[in-house]
Structure 1
């Protein structure tokens, strides 16, 4: 396998405290920008896995780990906002399999406390009851890489060094693959003693669920989709191997017939293609195999008409993509579904689902709301990233650019520009 076709890795140390859009941008924008510029290739699409090391999990054993979901999804939203802003600034497409010049950026949260003592440096895949994994498990399962980017800072160097001690036992990483990138200030505002209480400890740990459901069109998978899918997966209560039935992640994907009136409808991806993209993306955060992706780029998918399934982590997680023909899908067909994931844009749909379930005599679903990639915050980030240059685009313009409609428009214009010379030749 040619190394240039492999994903690249960007290792990011723990975020600042408090972690808001301004502090995240200051800390991570320089690193992300250098990595994106480095791997962009006008001859092909590229993939960048961004691994952020955060001491998220707490609990006495691997079977009872807990964390605060609001903090995790907020961090994901902040990072994906920065990615969207930078890709707009650098003229980089963000969708999965977007073609030459695009960078498919995927964010993975690692549970890692730099003060934890490891008895040895053998990378062992040690899954727990969440989809979050520790640094040794990540090093053992995620490989090989094209480039490994690391931040030039004390925390960044520490993270790189401990990662390499784990990774070098399962993969060979040459010196030329290691690329240092700039890092911004990571400030921790703690007590007078200097002790910092991470925000995930302040919040109450979240109850995880055996069955999680969400829905969408997922046309040309972009940062907003990636945020929603990752945040939903974090709510899964994953059984340890052989300890019980698998947890289920059910994703309703709108059928083709409901999308015929979309703008640039002729460029909407077929349902099968959208379902495969969702499952292949989720493999980035769910798959744990010591073989990495050297021999297999992507999960095995059982494909039936309107029903695609894949399993991960020794069959402890089932991902099911189902074709939906209305606003409800499986949420009013399966009483055992426990929770629903929505965005601010689809909040009303979540209420409609629970109203219908209640009318059927079923319990309502616990609803979790994922942050929308904020246009206002994105424009602020753009302005900060373009000091001394032209002013950032108006909010409404940038908001439209983080959408499947914009991606379809770009494809329609590209197709029209290719067809124009042919038409001119025929007329002459």
Structure 2
């Protein structure tokens, strides 16, 4: 009953639009007051201990890396390079959109950063070239989900810290799903534009073709430094984040984009985003302590195991739950609340932890495109000046490829477990 009332209180406050951190803290404080054996000193220790994690330090660093990439003009360079290479293909700007997001994802780690940085460039360019505004914003929104799946994925770091998994292994587990998303979106572009011969750009040859490509290569170096260092065992993911930030600052300075205004913008936005994320992490740590104290994971396991002993049925139920939760709850908060309960249950079914982690993360990323909370929808509406209703209409068709990829990684663990088995970080 204690767990039930806490969950009711949490849901009620979320419905009332109370900030997530406050919605998590309030039921916990009431629990501490009501339970004589619980003290505020222990509650404070649990909250702080949730933040006292070396891998968690990578979160603000990767957020900063993405912000520096935003102001350094790397997104423009990637877009120009992709356009020069594949601009003559039918529906070329659709493929360019996906390719640019894939390149930027190695530096971003967050869908919102991708949507904000690339949406302002790609959507107007596509509309100008004859693509519908709905398709333009839809493909931009869908391709932005590559960033939180591909390393350096911020949701993967949060998940790894919460579940006690290797950050490097979870990074590697996201590479094949990200490639599946790229493939699925390219198929979607082909299906949509296959009869539109007018959607080609004029061929670019010689110097005009290769100079944009060469100009974009230094930006891609950030991904090589970060992932290469982790896979090569040179440094940890947290250390890789610091090296990546240093590399990006040097690159931005070389591009002459690190003026006082941009530096202050990077510091302010990093502080704001990191503060919000880490406040939720601390509150969720206390919430998780209360759930563990009341044996919520064990009771959840008993309940679900009483419904089915089939791991496939469990995965189907898990997907349904997460698609609903992702539509109403921000991914970081959802991971912190659900993983301490769901991960032990999945273990009871003999499922690989990396497989389950990939399924949970991908589900919650789809939630970024789902009303009413889908943050990517509002970011794209802001940077493109299109109404949210039109953004939603543009995104709806892209649920087909995203759900297809979700089905593949859910029912075929090979896609998420093979590469970590081959490359041990």
**Fold conserved (TM > 0.5)?**
no
Give me the TM-score of the superposition, normalised by structure 1.
Answer: 0.31
Normalising by structure 2, we get a TM-score of 0.31
